[in-house]
């Protein structure tokens, strides 16, 4: 889980907010342990108000991981309104990092003016709040962060022999400090950093009185050659493909990706975009469209190759067509299985569907092969089908049952990575259940019809 306190929040205040959140976690009996990373290295680029948690659940937890995440998020929003939380699961988060994706819903707003983009993003963010199934909406317009604004009077600075870099180094040394020496602790060297005390660093008037050594040896107050003020700066300036961009990100819970995306599209259609601003919907939706196109091509190619093999195997178009149609019909059980278990048709389940195609066709081949053998020795069509069915029913039921049993742990989401492979297992199990019916009943019926 990633967290973010309001910009400019001190380390102490961030820690206070997080202790409140930890009190919420301690009251949840299904959380076994947690660890936290807070703060930053002395010269780290990221602000001290950001960090993350690693939360472990008990093995016997009753609620699903998503339910626990949603409950923690709801309680935190009520009790700690200033703290933004982003819940993710470790394995899916790592896979998204490798794929360069951020969230399932990733709305990109392109334009030429960052302020206009942030305003548009905020409007989209507010209109997406009522969409059912969207969780962890990232605030589109992050609050402005305080920053030092240093304006050097180049004329006065040059008269005294200074350059703008001297002023910058002085402010940097005062606030961040500078490593002056090292001490040895065991086998490692630890830098000793010198800087002004915190009470001084947080006092703007005191910073203005900083003395800077001129080339002629005189000490000059910095406010004589520069103006130092605190202003609200841009929280973030993002670029994508060389263009300015603002983002609205969200996770999905309790609904499938397709239905949520349709609702998001309806919201985006109602947003009146300023001149020069365009909106693009990315994230899992974009990746899934590309993957589905490739997988659909693979599915069609696999089906054609199987049909060609069947033609060469039986040398009869009608027999090959009966087996092929019986195999294709088993896909209806895949759809029924995904619907009953409320599993979305994603990349994993699509691959499972392709796998079913290769498994199920074997049953039809063996059944028709036995039928052809009995017809070759003079038995009638019906007698050959019945005799082949009696012989093949037990092997078909046994092999399908053992395969289903092997996929059950994945379908029940047991063990690490189960959430990734569960749709695959459900698709395969559903297809195998359907193949028992279609292999033993539908394929013989189609064969009987085609051979009349």
The tokens for 369 are 């092969």
Q: What is the pLDDT of residue 43?
A: 47
Q: Residue 410: is it exposed, middle or buried by C-beta count within 10 angstroms (0-12/13-18/19+)?
A: buried
Residue 51: strand pairing partners: 3
- The SS3 assignment for 191 reads strand
Provide mean pLDDT across the span 408-431. Answer: 79
What lies within 8 Å, CB to CB, of 283 at 6+ separation is 101, 102, 103, 104, 105, 106, 107, 249
Provide mean pLDDT across the span 387-406. Answer: 87
Whether the Cβ atoms of residue 14 and residue 48 lie closer than 8 Å to each other? yes
What lies within 8 Å, CB to CB, of 240 at 6+ separation is 108, 110
69-73, 105-109, 149-153, range with the lowest pLDDT: 149-153
Q: Is the pLDDT at 234 greater than 70, yes or no?
A: no
Q: What is the DSSP letter of 176?
A: T
Query: What are 339-345's contacts with CB under 8 Å, separation 24+?
Result: 341/426, 342/256, 343/422, 343/423, 343/426, 344/256, 344/257, 344/258, 344/423, 345/256, 345/258, 345/423
Distances in Å between the alpha carbon of 438 and those of 195, 318, 395? Answer: 78, 17, 15
- The SS3 assignment for 211 reads strand
Q: What percent of the chain is modeled with pLDDT above 90?
A: 4
Whether the Cβ atoms of residue 213 and residue 161 lie closer than 8 Å to each other? no
139-153, 357-371, 376-390, range with the lowest pLDDT: 139-153
Question: What CATH number was assigned to the domain covering residues 316-450?
Answer: 1.20.1640.10
* pTM confidence score: 0.57
Provide the Cα torsion 444, 449, 450, 452; round to 10°.
Answer: 120
Domain boundaries, the chain: 1-87, 145-233, 316-450
Question: What CATH number was assigned to the domain covering residues 1-87?
Answer: 3.30.70.1430
72-104 residue pLDDT tens: 888 988 888 878 888 877 666 665 555 555 677
Could you identify the residue written with the tokens 């742990």? 409
Provide mean pLDDT across the span 302-320. Answer: 86
Distances in Å between the alpha carbon of 357 and those of 119, 308, 328, 362? Answer: 50, 14, 7, 9
- 145-233 fold: 3.30.2090
Rounded to the nearest angstrom, the gap between the alpha carbon of residue 275 and the centroid of all alpha carbons in its chain is 31
Whether the Cβ atoms of residue 417 and residue 91 lie closer than 8 Å to each other? yes
Whether the Cβ atoms of residue 284 and residue 117 lie closer than 8 Å to each other? no
């Amino acid at each position: 889980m990633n967290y973010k306190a309001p910009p400019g929040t001190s380390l102490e205040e961030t820690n206070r907010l997080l202790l409140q959140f930890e009190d919420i976690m301690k009251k949840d009996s299904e959380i076994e342990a947690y660890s936290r990373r807070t703060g930053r290295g002395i010269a780290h680029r990221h602000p001290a108000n950001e960090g993350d948690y690693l939360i472990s659940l008990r093995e016997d937890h009753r609620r699903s991981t998503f339910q626990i995440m949603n409950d923690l998020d709801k309680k935190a929003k009520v009790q700690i309104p200033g703290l933004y939380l982003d819940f993710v699961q470790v394995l899916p988060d790592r896979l998204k990092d490798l794929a360069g994706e951020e969230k399932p819903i990733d709305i990109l707003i392109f334009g030429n003016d960052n302020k206009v983009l942030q305003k548009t993003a905020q409007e989209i963010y507010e209109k997406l709040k009522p969409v059912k199934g969207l969780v962890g909406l990232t605030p589109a317009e992050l609050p402005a962060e305080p920053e030092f604004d240093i304006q050097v009077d180049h004329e006065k600075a040059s008269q005294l022999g200074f350059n703008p870099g001297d002023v910058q180094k002085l402010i940097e040394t005062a606030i961040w400090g500078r490593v002056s020496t090292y001490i040895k602790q065991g086998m490692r060297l630890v830098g000793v950093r010198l800087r002004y005390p915190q009470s001084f660093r947080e006092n703007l008037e005191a910073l203005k009185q900083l003395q800077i050594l001129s080339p002629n040896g005189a000490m000059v107050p910095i406010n004589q050659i520069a103006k130092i003020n605190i202003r609200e700066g841009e929280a973030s300036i993002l670029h994508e493909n060389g263009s300015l961009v603002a983002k609205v990100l969200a996770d999905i819970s309790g609904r499938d990706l397709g239905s949520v995306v349709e609702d998001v599209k309806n919201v985006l259609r109602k947003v009146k975009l300023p001149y020069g601003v365009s909106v693009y919907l990315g994230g899992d939706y974009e990746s899934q469209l590309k993957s589905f196109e490739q997988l659909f091509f693979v599915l069609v190619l696999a089906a054609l190759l199987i049909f060609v093999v069947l033609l060469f195997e039986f040398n009869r178009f009608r027999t090959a067509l009966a087996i092929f149609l019986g195999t294709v019909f088993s896909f209806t059980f895949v759809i029924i299985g995904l619907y009953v278990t409320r599993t979305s048709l994603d990349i994993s389940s699509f691959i499972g569907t392709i796998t079913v195609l290769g498994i199920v066709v074997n049953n039809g081949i063996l059944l028709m092969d036995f039928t052809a053998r009995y017809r070759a020795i003079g038995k009638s069509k019906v007698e050959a089908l019945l005799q082949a069915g009696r012989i093949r029913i037990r092997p078909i039921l046994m092999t399908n049952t053992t395969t289903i049993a092997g996929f059950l742990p994945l379908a029940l989401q047991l063990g690490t990575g189960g959430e990734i492979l569960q749709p695959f297992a459900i698709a395969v199990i559903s297809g195998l259940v359907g193949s028992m019916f279609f292999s033993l009943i539908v394929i013989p019926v189609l064969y009987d019809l085609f051979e009349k």
